[in-house]
Amino acid sequence: MNIIKKNITFVGLALILMASIFHVGTGCKGEAEAGPEAPNFSLPSIDGGMVSLEDFRGSIVLIDFWATWCPPCRMSIPELIRLQNEYEDEGLVILGVSLDDPAQAPDAYLKAFKEKYKINYPILRANKQVMLDYFGLEAPAIPTMFVVDRTGRVTAKIVGFQPAALRNSIKKLIKG
C-alpha cells in the first residue's frame, strides 16, 4: 500500500510541476511576444499620390481591407469614423484598402462614396503584392482589419464586422 501511495503522490506532484512549468512558460507569452512585422506597402490613394505604411511608423495603424459592394464593410464604416475621431490625437491612423475592381469602381466613384459616407481616413487601392503579403494565397474574407502597433508589428487580425474586438485592440495599444 505504501508503494502505491508514494507512486500516486509522485505522479501527482510531477503533474502539478509540469503544469506549473507550462503555465510559467506560456502564461505571459501573449503579452510579451510581439506579433509579426506588418508587410510594408506603397499604394495609390484615390486622392492622388502614394501612401506607404512605413510613413506611419510610430503611430497605431488600422488597415481595413474592404469593398464598396460588401454589406459588412459598409456597416463597419461608421465605427471606423468614430475610432478615427476618438483616437486620432493618440496616434491612430486608419487606412482603408479598397478591393474594388477599378474598372467597376473608378477613383471618381470611390471619391463620391467617401464623401457620401463621410469617411475621414485615406482610401487606397489594393494591388496583387499587398494581397499576397497580407493574405497569402487564401481568398480574403472582407472586411479584414489588421491592427499594427507603433513599432510596425501586427497585434490583431479581425475578420468581419466586430466593433468590440476592434475597439479593444486599439485601446490596448493606446494604453500601452
Specify the number of domains making up the chain. 2
CA distance 143 to 6: 58
pLDDT in tens, 35-85: 899 999 999 999 999 999 999 999 999 999 999 999 999 999 999 999 999
pLDDT in tens, 127-168: 999 999 999 998 899 999 999 999 999 999 999 999 999 999
Classify residue 136: in a domain, yes or no.
yes
Sign of CA dihedral 99, 104, 109, 113: negative
Q: Within 13 Å, how many C-alpha atoms sit on residue 159's CB side? A: 5
Is 21 in the same domain as 93? no
Q: Which domain, by its residues, includes 19?
A: 2-32
Grid coordinates representing 154 are 501586427
